[in-house]
Amino acid sequence: MVRIMSGIQPTGSLHIGNYLGALQNWVSLQGEYEAFYSIVDLHALTGRPDADELRNAVREIAIGLLASGVDPEKATLYVQSHVPGHTRLAWILSCMTQMGDLNRMTQFKDKSHNQPENINAGLFTYPVLQAADILIHRADRVPVGEDQDQHLELVREIVRRFNKIYGKTFPEPQVVRSKARRVMGIDGDTKMSKSRGNEIGLFEKPEAVWKKLRGAKTDPARIRRDDKGHPEVCNIFSYHGFFSPEATCAQIDADCRSAAIGCVDCKKILATNLEVVTGPIREKGEQLRANPQEVDDILASGAAKARASADQTLAEVTDRVGIRN
């Protein structure tokens, strides 16, 4: 089978933007490809997180993935740091990466801006470890958002350089897009993010979700209830496109344009349909939290499978570059 690989950082709580942009896609792809999904805790170290908070975040991400439908019988789910091959390959690939390539990475500038007191070397070499995450399993496909296009092109450049010097070793991974390419936060201004405080948590209870939706930004031109709406520019209506049935979306579109429905009612319908999706995920998450050994066993089994894959890759790579495996 064609291999697919993707990773998620254990930073902050999962929200519906994560679900729509990544988790939902992972679940749909796991039956189509040989899937490797990793919780990339080594990347999280660039932010110097508290040790206990990082460990807890890794577990919460694992619970979120499993509760959302990632099936350990279909996909290899593991923690990045549990597979040493990631960092071994990252060093080899760093010797294939030009400083000029890394200097052009816009995310380094963005991340440096967000933590000006901690502009560490890890932020700069982050894309090389990301390349190793993908190439350690010789993945053919990578589900990523548009904000990662530059990094994936760097991966392909590293592959081309390695293959030219040492012979055909790695495939050039191709992009797999999610249907939800960019999920805006409830402020309607920026991408949904825990750090921006504009998120709807994946595990939040209905009353907490409704409190956020009540104050969420809608059509900026619709000031009064009797004004006709413009669903195409309404952030709340964009959520309906992900969580409400097609017929409901069509009805809301028509009612909004004719002023037959107000923003509050539109939000209430969304809250109901959102709960249909997130309610079972929240319930499954609670079950997994009550049985932490089950989560540990799944991650341990996944790490063993991932190490076997990584060892095969490293055996060939180290032979080609002239060092012992």
Domains plus CATH for the chain?
A: 3-183+292-321 (3.40.50.620), 206-286 (1.10.240.10)
For 244-272, the DSSP string reads: S-HHHHHHHHHHHHTT-S-HHHHHHHHHH
Q: Over the range 279-304, which residues count as b (16 or more CB within 10 Å of their CB) and which as e?
A: eebbebbeebeeeeeebeebbeebbe
Give me 288's structure tokens: 């997994």
194 is catalytic: yes
Name beta bridge partners: 290: none
Predicted TM-score (pTM) of this structure = 0.91
305 is catalytic: no
Exactly one of 74, 164, 194, 212 is catalytic; name it. 194
61 Cβ neighbours under 8 A, 6+ residues apart: 8, 10, 14, 39
Question: Which residues, given as ranges, of the chain have pLDDT below 70?
Answer: 181, 220-227
Exactly one of 74, 191, 217, 268 is catalytic; name it. 191
d(CA 134, CA 86): 9
Judge whether 61 and 214 are in contact, CB under 8 Å. no
253 Cβ neighbours under 8 A, 6+ residues apart: 231, 237
Question: What pLDDT shows up at residue 156?
Answer: 96
Give me 93's structure tokens: 């690939």
Question: What pLDDT shows up at residue 155?
Answer: 96
268 is catalytic: no
Chain segment 36-95, per-residue pLDDT in tens: 999 999 999 998 999 999 999 999 999 999 999 999 999 999 999 999 999 999 999 999
Question: What pLDDT shows up at residue 226?
Answer: 47
